[in-house]
Structure 1
Amino acid sequence: MTGLVLVTHSGLGESMRRQAEVILGRMIQMTTVSVSYSADPDTALEELIGALAMSVDQDGAVVLTDLPGATPHNLATRAAARRDLPVVSGLNLPMLLKVINHIDKPASELAELACLGGHQGIIET
């Protein structure tokens, strides 16, 4: 099983996790890292590096972030580069559910599925 790490602004990752667990009716194994607006970037980076170290398994890990170019994404990109892990930004619930439902796939495939799930979840009616 590939590791799953959500790196988001305060509270968003935890909320997404709770909603996914309600929808799927089970606990989800993932790590969430919240980055507050007042966080020291160096301290947050060290916390994130530690979280990734605990989340990576033999299949690696995929990192999902909420907003491209924002502090959580920038820190995740820096931390993930140390382990050559994929980072996908633009987190939405369909993206998260797609990844959870295919968590047995390698990290590189999960990153592609995350993008697919995220796009499929955006519709105009």
Structure 2
Amino acid sequence: MKALLVCTHGSSAKELVNSAEMICGKQENQTSVAFTMGESPDKLEQELKKKISTLDLSDGILCLTDLKGGTPFNTLVRLTQSIPQLHILTGVSIPMLLEFFIQREQYKMPDLIESTIKAAHDGIYQYVFTENTTDNEEF
């Protein structure tokens, strides 16, 4: 089973995973790491290594972060040198997590990454009220 690690600035990583699990059920082979204010990048790296060591990486690991260029992202990029099965996507969202959790057994990692990115794009929607909108319309 493909592994998942979510790492963000602050505690949003854990809460995003909790929210996704409310929708699709408790998930295995996943973890989250919070990068807290005042924490050093070295400490974050040690925490990431510790958490990654608890996961089964035989089918690869997808790491979702909040921000390209941020400390969680940069630290994970450095870890790809020693953990070649590690893949990184930024812009973590609940639609991405749901896609990963629901499809991780059906797709190989490259296809799973592609479908996770598509879910992120499809998860962005602007509702615009119009006078012709009825309460019964489905979105």
Report the TM-score, using the length of structure 1 for normalisation.
0.89
Structure 1 Cα separation of the partners of residues 112 and 53 of structure 2: 18
The amino acid of 1:86's aligned partner reads H
Alpha-carbon separation, structure 2, partners of 1:110 and 1:51 = 22
Q: Give the 4+ runs in structure 1 shifted more than 2 A.
A: 105-110
**Alignment map for 1:17-96 (pairs within 5 Å):** 17-24=17-24, 26-29=25-28, 30-84=30-84, 85-96=86-97
Larger relative helix fraction: 1
Instruction: Name stretches of at least 5 consecutive residues in structure 2 with no aligned partner.
Output: 128-139
Distance (whole Å) between structure 2 residues aligned to residue 109 and residue 78 of structure 1: 24
Checking the alignment, whether the CA contact within 8 Å between 1:13 and 1:33 is kept in structure 2 is yes
AA of the residue aligned to 1:91: V
CA RMSD of aligned residues (A): 1.5
- Aligned position for 1:101: 102
* TM-score normalised by length of structure 2: 0.81
Number of aligned pairs? 124
Q: Distance in 1 between matches of 2:51 and 2:32?
A: 8
DSSP-derived class of the 1:124 partner: coil
Give ranges in structure 1 of 5+ residues lacking alignment.
none
Larger Cα-atom Rg: 2
CA distance in 2 between counterparts of 1:22 and 1:7 reads 19
The whole-number CA distance in structure 2 between the counterparts of 1:87 and 1:108 is 12
Q: Is the 8 A contact 1:67 1:89 kept in 2?
A: yes
Worse-matched range after superposition: 34-43 or 103-112:
103-112
Q: Percent identity?
A: 28
In 1, Cα distance between the equivalents of 2:14 and 2:119?
19
Match of 2:137 in 1: none
Q: What are the equivalent positions in structure 2 for 1:104-123 lying under 5 Å apart?
A: 104=105, 105-123=107-125
Q: Does the C-alpha gap of structure 1 residues 109 and 52 become closer, same or farther in structure 2, counting only changes over 3 Å? A: farther
